[in-house]
Amino acid sequence: MASVETRPRISVVIPAYNEEKYIGATLESINQAIAAYRQSHGHAVEVIVVNNNSADRTEEVARAHGAKVVFEAKNQISVAMNAGARAARGEILVISFADDRPSPNFLVRIDEAMRSGLYIGGAAKILWDKQSPWVSFFNALGNGIRGLLGVSNNLLFTSRETFDKIGGFDERYYAGEDMKFATDLKKQGKREGKKFCVLTDAYLLKSTRKFDQFGGITLAFGLVVFLLCPWLVRFKKACFFWYGGER
């Protein structure tokens, strides 16, 4: 086993608002990936949970699983992710979410992609933790949009330098900031002669809890509204799917 460096090569940033029910399992999956990465590469990884003004035990659960916690009072996903990035010390930034579980090899694959010099950054393919007709519909539609744009918007990663170049996540957005970041990342890569990497042998197991909370019909209606009126992502009230009692 290689000796582990103390300064993190990778920082995983997780925004969290009232996520005590989910974040423990997410951090367990990330800690498994960290152990595999240390075993094979010998680099340290830090995990930063951004407590986005939670009213529950999110911070306590995160600390119990070894995460560093920073506080961000403004309840907005893009703001929270930028706050976590500012606190990060790693050369590579990875953005995940409190209810989504990355595959055990995701850190290894991200490191390999960034070391190759071919990629500006990228994201992982998406799997869902439950299946239903509505999940299948959203998955097919989402994959179509992502394929059309040539990006993925889950488990985003890039270098600290590139993150700063493109200005992080657009804080005018209350939702969709991840897709905006992915497309900005791809544009920056084009300027530098690098590609956007969609990892096919690592994945993010995405939670379907919003389907349970709101139902497929409501989510479908909301998606149609956002596709027809994309400017609504700049208004918090229009993005209620993401700003309920938990996120």
Establish if 124 belongs to a structural domain.
yes
For position 80, which CATH number holds?
3.90.550.10
Whole-structure pTM value:
0.89
First to last CA, the chain: 38
Establish if 93 belongs to a structural domain.
yes
Establish if 3 belongs to a structural domain.
no
Q: What is the span of the domain harbouring residue 41? A: 8-242
What is the number of structural domains in the chain?
Answer: 1
Tens digits of pLDDT across the chain (247 residues): 444 567 899 999 999 999 999 999 999 999 999 999 999 999 999 999 999 999 999 999 999 999 999 999 999 999 999 999 999 999 999 999 999 999 999 999 999 999 999 999 999 999 988 888 888 888 787 778 888 888 888 999 999 999 999 999 999 999 889 999 999 999 999 999 999 999 999 999 999 888 887 777 777 767 766 777 878 888 788 777 777 645 4
Strand order from edge to edge, sheet including 156-159: 68-71, 44-51, 8-16, 92-95, 156-159, 119-128, 195-206, 101-102
